[in-house]
Amino acid sequence: MDKPETNTAYYSPGAQVWERFKKDRFAVIGLFGVGFLVLVAILAPFIANGRPLMILRDGHLSFPFLRYLFAPDTTEVIVEKIFNYVLIFPVPALVIWSLLKKRKSLMLGILAVWAFVLIIPFFTVGPRLEKTDWRKECSNLKKGEFAIFAPVPYGPFENCVEPFLKPCLEHLFGADQIGRDVLSRMVYGARVSLAVGFLATGLTMFLGILIGMYCGYFGGRTDFLFMRVVEIIMCFPTFLLLLILMTILMDHKCQQSILLVIGIIGLTSWTGLSRIVRGETLQQRAMPYIRACESLGVSVWKILFRHLLPNITGPILVSFTFGVAGAILAESGLSFLGFGVQAPTASWGELLRQAFSDPLRYWHLTLWPGFAIFIAVVAFNFAGEGLHRAFDPKSE
């Protein structure tokens, strides 16, 4: 008698979550939206750039934009360098991985060397002021010479047309109040929004996880004091608290930058996550595997970060996606009110602010940034809802 066939395929918990996530249509749409925004932010120098990507002139081939990947001419140098590093790193890394994937230790060593070597030019290449009008220069090229520009041949700080120009074929999204191309500033504004979203939420995750796990595992007076502090902070409306802190820092002549906005949002948003992590830790604290670790003499920090933390990852990832959406919305609101990222840095909220005096007349400064904020927030919220249902199928 033949034995019945059995399905011997094993799915890890992560694979099971991914299978459920893929079946959620809105979650997949959200994931594609997030991926699109990330790609736009990373590839910004290839999408919008006032300098030629490549130019052949007088028999010499040059790449005028390349130097500014390592020394960007912007007020937010750190954020720009982080995105440019992420732009340059993957292609050689993928080549190394494909050639040495069977020799894992050697591959990891070479990748580590590449990651370190790539950092060096970001510190050694200095900024340089350049006033070359590349479009005028390239209009006088001789026969056989050529120049390749980005699809949007304007930089985010370049005054190229008259102020408040309406959308046209040359400037698809129009121009802002001083004649800068809106599409170019929208592209680089994605870098600002995602930098604030990911870095501020990362700071929130760090504080929320540490405080929540510590309070949930040890309890006692420390837990009591921290939870009372959390409740006091949560009594304040979050956005009002952001405005108060930004105003205080502005009064003390603190230089407003993306890093300041990231710090303020991150330091005021960890309370909700700490309560979630504390609750999950209390639940896991009573499980047999934690008691077994304690009886075997496993160190507390190993119990927390090697055994307990992986089992509460689901709620943390869900909170992360919602946190990124909230941070993007908070940064846009602060910039719209003049308390966030300051000009000339490109920001979606700053573009909206330019249309405040007459939103209908300057509709292109209302429509495009507002639509970008809407897409970003909806994409992260769809992805977060999908993760929530994937980690907890009973919630449907």
What integer pLDDT is reported at residue 256 of this predicted model? Answer: 62
Dmax (CA) of the chain = 85
Q: What is the predicted pLDDT for the residue at 69?
A: 92
Half-sphere exposure of 388 (CA within 13 A, CB side): 14
Domains of the chain, CATH where assigned: 51-148 (no CATH), 182-395 (1.10.3720.10)
Can you give the pLDDT at residue 254? 66
The answer to whether 47 and 40 have CB atoms below 8 angstroms apart is yes
pLDDT score of 11: 65
How far apart (Å, rounded) are the C-alpha atoms in residues 237 and 245? 12
Q: How far is CA 367 from the centre of its chain?
A: 22
User: Is 112:97 a contact under the CB 8 Å cutoff?
Assistant: no
The pLDDT of residue 393 is 64
Query: In this predicted structure, what is the pLDDT of residue 241?
Result: 80
14-29 pLDDT, tens digit per residue, is 788 888 888 889 999 9
The confidence score (pLDDT) of residue 319 equals 93
Q: How far apart (Å, rounded) are the C-alpha atoms in residues 180 and 243?
A: 28
Rg (CA), the chain: 25
**Does residue 331 contact residue 263 with C-beta atoms inside 8 Å?**
no
Cβ partners under 8 Å of residue 314, min gap 6: 17, 387, 391, 392
pLDDT of residue 143: 83
State how far the Cα of 231 lies from the Cα of 226, in Å rounded to an integer: 9
- Return the bridge partners of 175, or none: 181
Integer Cα distance of 394 and 227 in angstroms: 29
Using alpha carbons only, what angle is made at residue 270 by residues 269 and 271, rounded to the nearest 5 degrees?
100
The whole-number pLDDT of residue 10 equals 56
Residue 396, pLDDT score: 54
Q: What is the pLDDT of residue 244?
A: 82
For tokens 């009594």, the residue is: 235
> What integer pLDDT is reported at residue 42 of this predicted model?
95
The amino acid that residue 389 corresponds to is: R
Please report, for residues 51, 54, 137, 305, 357, the alpha-carbon distance to residue 149 in angstroms, rounded to integers and kept in the order given.
7, 7, 12, 49, 35
**173 with 182: CB under 8 angstroms?**
yes
Give residue 232's pLDDT.
86
pLDDT tens digits for range 61-71: 889 889 899 99
Query: How far apart are alpha carbons 121 and 66 in whole angstroms?
Result: 11
Residue 386 near residue 392, CB atoms below 8 Å = no
Q: In 3-state terms, what secondary structure has residue 147? A: strand
pTM here is: 0.89
Residues of the chain under the 70 pLDDT cut:
1-11, 252-256, 393-396
pLDDT at position 13: 74
| Helix 270-285, helix 258-268: angle, nearest 10 | 40
User: Residue 134's pLDDT is what?
Assistant: 83
Contacts of 206 (CB under 8 A, 6+ apart): none
